[in-house]
Chain A
């Protein structure tokens, strides 16, 4: 059974600081996704990582994938308040159709 674990689950940080969220998964998969969710809202796709060594950056967020270690990271650079949200990683298993399994989510709060 595929399991996806994120840490930390809660993260409170100051504006301007850097931090990293980690996502480990238990079985082989070459595809990993990062989503953002604001309270009461839907999931916004941030990054799609499709191969070992993939690195993608958008603004202050950068995501990477190491399929051999079964690890993805989401790095936040010089955090700003607008990045406060819950971040989920998800891994898919193709079983006739794509099936996303989500991590528990990391609730990020950025304080002024």
Chain B
């Protein structure tokens, strides 16, 4: 099973709403990631969790709040977003956070977020 599952697949939210994106993997991977991808652009790293601890925050605005409740789950809490935050949000996982062994990252299908 090399699947990373993201829900919901599509989300439309107002600028005053609070919503959450969810990501789940059952591959025993110990690193999980959030990426943001704008149309016709490459994915950009937002956050990295390593062994359930936040290890990298790429200067993401505080209206995005990540959470890793356990080794299989990763959430992204959204609050007071702006229209320019509309994008495809991709979750990924990899086996070894230090990258010493298998370094391949597997991506979920993404959540297409529209902020109105």
Chain A residues engaging chain B, CB cutoff 8 angstroms: 31, 33, 35, 40-45, 48, 50, 88, 92, 94-105
Contacts and interface: CB of A to CB of B under 8 A. Distances in A.
B99 A31 contact: yes
Contacts, number: 72
B103 A92 contact: yes
Contacts of A45: 104-107
B31 interface: yes
Given A97-B97, A98-B99, A33 B105 contact: yes
Interface string B24-67: 00000001010000001111110011100001100000000000
A42 B6 CA distance: 11
Contacts of A33: 104-105
Interface in B67-88: none
A42 B99 contact: no
Contacts of A41: 109-110
A104 B107 CA distance: 18
Contacts of A44: 107
Interface residues of B, number: 29
A99 B104 contact: no
A100 B105 contact: yes
Nearest to B58: A99
Q: Which of B42, B44, B103, B108 has its CB near the most chain A CB atoms (within 10 A)?
A: B42
B56 A99 contact: yes
B98 interface: yes
Contacts of B41: 104-105
A43 B90 contact: yes
